[in-house]
Amino acid sequence: MQAELDKVYQKARSEIEQAKNIPELLNLKSKYIGKKSLLNKLMKQISSLPKEERPEFGKKLNIAKNKIQELITIRENQIQEIQYKNELKSEAIDVTMPGRKRKIGNLHPITLVMQEIEDIFISMGFDVVEGPDIEDEFHNFDALNTPPDHPARNLSDTFYLDNDILLRTQTSTVQIRTMEKYQPPIKIISPGSCYRNENDATHSPMFHQVEALVVDEGINFVDLRDILNDFVKKMFGDRIQTRFRPHFFPFTEPSAEMDISCVKCFGKGCNLCKGTGWLEMGGAGMVDPNVFEMLKIDPEKYTGYAFGLGIDRIAMVKYNIPDMRMLFENDIRFLKQF
């Protein structure tokens, strides 16, 4: 029986030392020292020993049982430590790993150009004001000295929402809203969306203008020319020239269209300027006294200039965009480039 006890003990020891996890260890515990264990079986056989050997063997059995319990505790600690280390390893942070790049959007080219235009005019002392996209005929036409039979009022150009309510066709509406509220001196720009029923490579039903209005005593056409010259050089570079062609707008007198020398060929003629050497930028002029009178500003005392530039055209020229519709198609591959 002594030999059998030794054998059981050795087997228990080697199996416990090789146990890989806690459940396995619990199984071994019940196998060797539990109620139905091998040691208990030996305990029951004690009565078959000669009387004088019984206490001695009982002691040995107890010692073996305690030792096995001890081995189990040791192994249990080892297993827990290994599991803990593995856990730490799997949760470890490698601070040398490159971070995951967060996908962030970028500003639309129109927004970028608008912000640049605003910054330039703010640096020249202008305030930035806004007006509504949905307007009435008074602000879009009447107050801008545009008679009822003017072709621009035609349904084919203007999006009417109701009898007298429309989507503004120009940011010039904000001139009126500003002069309704404030007496001169006035020095504002107003960027925003405009709407007209047209759609091709150089026209979009929704487009953008920046309006400017300066009213004070003694304002003249030279002031207008100077401010536009300064703006154009700040926006496109020192080499760019401006030129003014006589034109007609109902709300300015005299009126002009402003061109800049081509930003690509500097006036020699290329595909961008269609060989002319010039690019159209917008309309300008001296505020018509009729407009002042309608808004109760004294035309004998005050003069003013106004202009409206096409922001989409500026963006197209600046970023070499061949078709205006690309600006509004929302193609991510296009928009990501800015």
Cβ nearer to ligand DAH, comparing 64 with 315: 315
Sign (positive/negative) of CA torsion 211, 214, 220, 225?
negative
- Residue 278's DSSP bridge partners are 261
Tokens matching residue 218:
């003694």
Q: What is the DSSP letter of 276?
A: S
Q: Which of 19, 68, 186, 211 binds ligand DAH (CB under 6 A)?
A: 211
Q: Which of residues 223-252 bind ligand DAH (CB under 6 A)?
A: 249, 252
Cβ nearer to ligand DAH, comparing 109 with 310: 310
158 makes contact with ligand DAH (CB under 6 A): no
Cβ nearer to ligand DAH, comparing 37 with 173: 173
Q: Beta strand 134-136 with 303-310: parallel, antiparallel or unpaired?
A: unpaired
Q: Which of 8, 42, 279, 306 binds ligand DAH (CB under 6 A)?
A: 306
Q: In sequence order, what are the residues at sequence separation of 6 or more whose Cβ sits closer than 8 angstroms to the Cβ of residue 231?
A: 117, 120, 121, 124
Q: Which of residues 245-284 bind ligand DAH (CB under 6 A)?
A: 249, 252, 255, 282-284
174 makes contact with ligand DAH (CB under 6 A): no
Contact between 258 and 275 (Cβ < 8 Å)? no
123-127: long-range contacts, CB 8 A cutoff, minimum separation 24? 123/234, 124/227, 124/230, 124/231, 125/187, 126/187, 126/188, 126/189, 126/212, 127/187, 127/188, 127/189
Residue nearest to ligand DAH (CB): 283
Number of residues interacting with ligand DAH: please give it, by CB under 6 A: 13
Cβ nearer to ligand DAH, comparing 29 with 313: 313
**Shortest Å distance, C-beta 251 to ligand DAH:** 6
**Shortest Å distance, C-beta 334 to ligand DAH:** 26
191 makes contact with ligand DAH (CB under 6 A): no
Tokens matching residue 95:
């601070």
Binding residues vs ligand DAH (CB under 6 A): 170, 172, 211, 249, 252, 255, 282-285, 306-308
